[in-house]
């Protein structure tokens, strides 16, 4: 089988295809013939040296989809999605390979409503969105929820999950084409922050009150746009930093308006929290209410083009690395 191995991290990472033996299944594991995995910000951060000490050589890939070949928990032929939590593709061999022996606790059966490409982009993005919105953000039906990077993979999931939970997701995007896209997938409203005054538009949409909460997969300057747009005693939840890791806040505004700032990292959740969230998400996806959007698919040979697409900030939805044989 082929495996994509990161042998060097840093500004010029090295990823090469290697031939390896198909792994043997262990008790409590399933042997999965993998179909696809995501090319995402986590894997790019790891391969460029931004995640600390990475044990190279390493097969990356933290989420994927595939077909069960051998298992004591799933029938042969079951279509599944895999969630690598804080280990697979980070500290342990991951899913950028054509076969993998995976712990059963990391696997969920895909509903018929999702294709294998969509399943590859389902676990990390939607689990992040669901837990950030419910357990951290405590959103309620009818609330205005502001989301940055709403046309990206995590942003797309935040929009859809917020809508399913009865909130009104307001999407911040950087182009008119992205604005039209997020409206089609469930956004209550879309604001092109490069052309519009985001704060003014949000006040118009919320009757002058401001958003009840905001969720930020982007970071950098956009964090302050979200922070300034939430109402007094509103909440901002940071879930990413693709545009920058540092911000400067006005502490007087923070204190006087009693705003709440929180961070959320999906890989800090317990296995029980993972399972509860994934089971709920599969249920919702089975009704057709949740559906990842696939921007593009790349082969092993074109993986660097996939990362170029990711870093271009032009992608709408998720980028998939094809693992199919």
Residue 53 has pLDDT above 90, yes or no: no
- Pick from 61, 26, 68: nearest CA to 42: 61
Residue 78 in contact with residue 116, Cβ under 8 Å? no
Where residue 237 falls among pLDDT bands split at 50, 70, 90? very high
Residue 243 has pLDDT above 90, yes or no: no
- The CB density around residue 116, as the number of other CB atoms within 10 Å, is 20
Residue 233 has pLDDT above 80, yes or no: yes
Residue 66 in contact with residue 116, Cβ under 8 Å? yes
On the CB side of 89, how many CA atoms lie within 13 Å of its CA? Answer: 30
Domain span(s) for CATH 3.90.180.10 in the chain: 2-122+292-322
Residue 190 in contact with residue 173, Cβ under 8 Å? yes
Q: Is domain 2-122+292-322 classified as CATH 3.90.180.10? A: yes
Mean pLDDT of 85-108: 97
Domain span(s) for CATH 3.40.50.720 in the chain: 125-266
pLDDT score, position 293: 94
Where residue 242 falls among pLDDT bands split at 50, 70, 90? confident
pLDDT in tens, 254-304: 999 999 999 999 999 999 999 999 999 999 999 999 999 999 999 999 999
pTM of the complete model:
0.94
Residue 186 has pLDDT above 90, yes or no: yes
Where residue 52 falls among pLDDT bands split at 50, 70, 90? confident
- The CB density around residue 30, as the number of other CB atoms within 10 Å, is 25
Where residue 325 falls among pLDDT bands split at 50, 70, 90? confident
Where residue 239 falls among pLDDT bands split at 50, 70, 90? very high
Mean pLDDT of 83-112: 97
CATH of domain 125-266: 3.40.50.720
- Residue 165 has φ and ψ, to the nearest 5°, of -80, 0
Q: Is the dihedral of CA 228, 230, 233, 235 positive or negative?
A: negative
Report the distance separating Cα 309 and Cα 307, nearest Å.
5
- Pick from 45, 20, 33, 189: nearest CA to 98: 33
pLDDT in tens, 132-173: 999 999 999 999 999 999 999 999 999 999 999 999 999 999
């Amino acid at each position: 089988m082929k495996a994509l191995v990161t042998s060097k991290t840093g500004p010029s990472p090295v990823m090469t295809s290697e031939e390896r033996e198909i792994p043997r299944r262990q008790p409590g594991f399933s042997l999965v013939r993998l179909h696809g995995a995501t090319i995402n910000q986590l894997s790019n951060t790891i391969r460029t040296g931004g995640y600390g000490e990475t044990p190279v050589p390493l097969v990356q890939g933290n989420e994927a989809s595939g077909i069960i070949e051998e298992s004591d928990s799933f029938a042969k032929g079951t279509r599944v999605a895999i969630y690598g939590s804080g280990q697979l593709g980070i500290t342990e061999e991951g899913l950028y390979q054509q076969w993998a022996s995976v712990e059963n606790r990391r696997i969920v059966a895909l509903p018929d409503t999702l294709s294998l490409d969509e399943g590859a982009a389902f676990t990390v993005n939607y689990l992040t969105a669901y837990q950030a919105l419910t357990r951290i953000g405590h959103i309620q039906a009818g609330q205005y929820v502001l989301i940055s990077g709403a046309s990206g993979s995590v942003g797309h999931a935040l929009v859809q999950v917020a809508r399913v939970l009865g909130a009104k997701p307001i999407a911040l995007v950087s182009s008119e084409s992205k604005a039209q896209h997020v409206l089609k997938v469930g956004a209550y409203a879309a604001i092109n922050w490069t052309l519009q005054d985001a704060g003014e538009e949000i006040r118009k949409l919320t009757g002058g009150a401001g958003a009840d909460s905001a969720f930020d997969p982007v970071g950098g300057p956009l964090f302050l746009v979200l922070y300034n747009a939430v109402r007094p005693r509103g909440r901002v939840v940071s879930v990413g930093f693709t545009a920058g890791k540092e911000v400067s806040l006005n502490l007087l505004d923070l204190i006087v308006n009693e705003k709440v700032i929180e961070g959320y990292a999906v890989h800090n959740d317990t296995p029980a929290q993972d399972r509860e969230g994934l089971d709920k998400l599969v249920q919702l996806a089975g009704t057709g209410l949740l559906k990842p959007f696939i921007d593009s698919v790349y082969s092993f040979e074109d993986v660097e083009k996939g990362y170029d697409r990711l870093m271009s900030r032009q992608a709408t939805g998720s980028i998939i690395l094809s693992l199919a044989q």
